[in-house]
């Protein structure tokens, strides 16, 4: 198999074996600590923890509306790391492929006083989005054009952005109002962004036809393909880094029970209903001396010539192109979040969370989250939490997962139940966290 951007190929496999928000379910709880800050920076204030020290947390997500696999194929891949794709295909000219990995490194949340708190976070993140792409064409590039069918495609407003970056963030939150049964707090995160690199491509129009009999690929249109300096698609060698600034902003309102409305009591769990609003990942990273080539795709090519070649080699050897050096500006996956959390009784809660992308699917040089609405019943105490997230995700009807927190350890997935018990799956996610919570 040729080298078709190896890490993109790995992500494509994850799409069919392993979603877009990180730590689905865990970030919504009252004991989420520093993970709640990722979703809404106001969560840092009035926490039940005096201090929360994250050691390491990892969250992975992948999905596609092109291919769904039988659960047995998923389990086989997990067992022997070899995938025989017999999944049901939903090929269109506007298929979507998406994935991200979020690693939260050593981080600290600290309560300065009863009304204000501070957090310092370190994260490593990667995102990839293919927007409006022919699923058949992507699969054939990966599988050396072994398709047993002849097909045509017409791709319009295609864009692809793969981005790897790190973050060092500082979050400040404080209580803004305590009056009778009303409680209001806000928070702000400022992040120093360290860009490792990006690969990007786009096309306003690309049409074509693959003939299985003579293995010829005929195309017409244009394609822009490029990368940031030193970010090699074959081996992901990071030779240069860039920097930028980003931020998150959030607010939370609580309607508290009358018996605990005294502001001196300040019980975090006294609310009957809680509403949170936040905007995350505001910002972008600029890369000087990025290279992009505009290719004239009007040609018919024998796909046997593609074998064991990278995408750059395929484009350079078969299509004429004009290169350009410019400053690329890669936008972060800016998203709007809303949370409504209802205290049913004592330790039982029911929450509804929506995460919506503020980045258009056709925007160039940008990543975006997958629109998701999650309903989640949960039980939580200081030592233990258990939750059952049920999500309606863009490009997929319903996913169901579960997770638990026991002291310093958290493990969960927003899709594991639907992955295991549904006949077919289009997306999957998993996460784990190890930290040291210090309670009041």
Give the global pTM: 0.88
**Three-state SS annotation for 166-211:** EEEEEEEEEEEEEECCEEEEEEEEEEEEEEEEEEEEEEEEEEEEEE
List domains and CATH numbers for the chain: 6-439 (2.40.160)
Collapse the DSSP code of 295 into the 3-class scheme (helix H, G, I; strand E, B; otherwise coil) and give the result: strand
In tens digits, the chain (440 residues) has pLDDT values of: 344 444 443 443 343 333 345 777 788 889 999 999 999 999 999 999 999 999 999 998 888 887 665 555 545 544 443 444 455 567 788 888 888 999 999 999 999 999 999 999 999 999 999 999 998 888 888 777 877 789 999 999 999 999 999 999 999 999 999 998 999 999 999 999 999 999 999 999 999 999 999 999 999 999 999 999 988 655 555 556 799 999 999 999 999 987 544 444 445 557 999 999 999 999 999 999 999 999 999 999 999 888 888 888 899 999 999 999 999 999 999 999 999 999 999 899 999 999 999 998 889 999 999 899 999 999 999 999 999 999 888 876 688 999 999 999 999 998 888 888 876 667 788 899 999 999 87
- Give 379's strand partners: 348, 386
Tokens of 196: 């490792």
Strand (E) positions, 65-150?
67-70, 88-89, 95-104, 107-113, 116-133
Strands 116-133 and 151-179: antiparallel
Collapse the DSSP code of 136 into the 3-class scheme (helix H, G, I; strand E, B; otherwise coil) and give the result: helix
CA distance 87 to 99: 19
DSSP annotation of 231 reads: B
Tokens of 118: 């501070």
């Amino acid at each position: 198999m040729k080298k078709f951007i190896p890490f993109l190929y790995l992500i494509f496999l994850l799409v069919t074996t392993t979603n877009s928000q990180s730590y689905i379910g865990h970030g919504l709880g009252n004991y989420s600590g520093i993970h709640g800050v990722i979703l809404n920076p106001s969560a840092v204030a009035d926490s039940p923890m005096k201090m929360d020290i994250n050691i390491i947390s990892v969250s992975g997500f992948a999905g596609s509306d092109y291919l769904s696999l039988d659960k047995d194929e998923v389990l086989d891949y997990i067992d022997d790391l070899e995938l025989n794709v017999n999944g049901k295909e939903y090929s269109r000219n506007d298929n979507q492929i998406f994935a991200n990995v979020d690693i939260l490194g050593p981080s600290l949340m600290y309560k300065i006083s009863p009304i204000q708190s501070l957090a310092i976070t370190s994260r490593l993140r990667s995102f990839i989005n293919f927007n409006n792409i022919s699923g058949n064409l992507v699969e054939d590039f990966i599988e050396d054009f072994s398709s047993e069918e002849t097909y045509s495609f017409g791709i319009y407003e295609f864009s692809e952005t793969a981005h790897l970056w790190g973050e060092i963030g500082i979050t400040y939150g404080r209580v803004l109002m305590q009056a009778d049964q009303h409680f209001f707090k806000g928070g702000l995160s400022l992040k120093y962004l360290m860009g490792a690199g990006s690969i990007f491509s786009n096309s306003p129009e690309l049409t074509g036809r693959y003939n299985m009999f003579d293995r010829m690929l005929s195309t017409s249109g244009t394609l822009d393909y490029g990368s940031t300096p030193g970010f090699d698609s074959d081996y992901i060698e990071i030779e240069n880094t860039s920097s930028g600034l980003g931020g998150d902003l959030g607010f939370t309102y609580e309607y508290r029970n009358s018996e605990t409305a005294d502001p001196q009591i300040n019980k975090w769990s006294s609310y009957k209903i809680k509403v949170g609003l936040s905007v995350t990942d505001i910002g972008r990273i600029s890369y000087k001396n990025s290279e992009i080539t505009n290719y004239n795709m009007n040609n018919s090519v024998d796909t046997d010539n593609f074998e064991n070649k990278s995408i750059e080699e395929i484009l350079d050897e078969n299509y004429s192109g004009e290169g350009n050096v410019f400053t690329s500006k890669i936008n972060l996956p800016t998203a709007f979040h809303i949370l409504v959390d209802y205290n049913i009784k004592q330790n039982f809660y029911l929450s509804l969370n929506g995460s919506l992308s503020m980045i258009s699917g056709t925007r160039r040089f940008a990543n975006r989250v997958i629109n998701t609405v999650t309903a989640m019943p949960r039980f939580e105490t200081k030592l233990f939490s258990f939750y059952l997230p049920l999500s309606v995700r863009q490009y997929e009807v319903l996913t169901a997962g579960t997770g638990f927190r026991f002291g310093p350890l958290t493990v969960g997935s927003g899709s594991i139940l639907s992955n295991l018990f549904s006949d077919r799956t289009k997306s999957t996610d998993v996460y784990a966290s190890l930290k040291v919570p210090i309670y009041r």
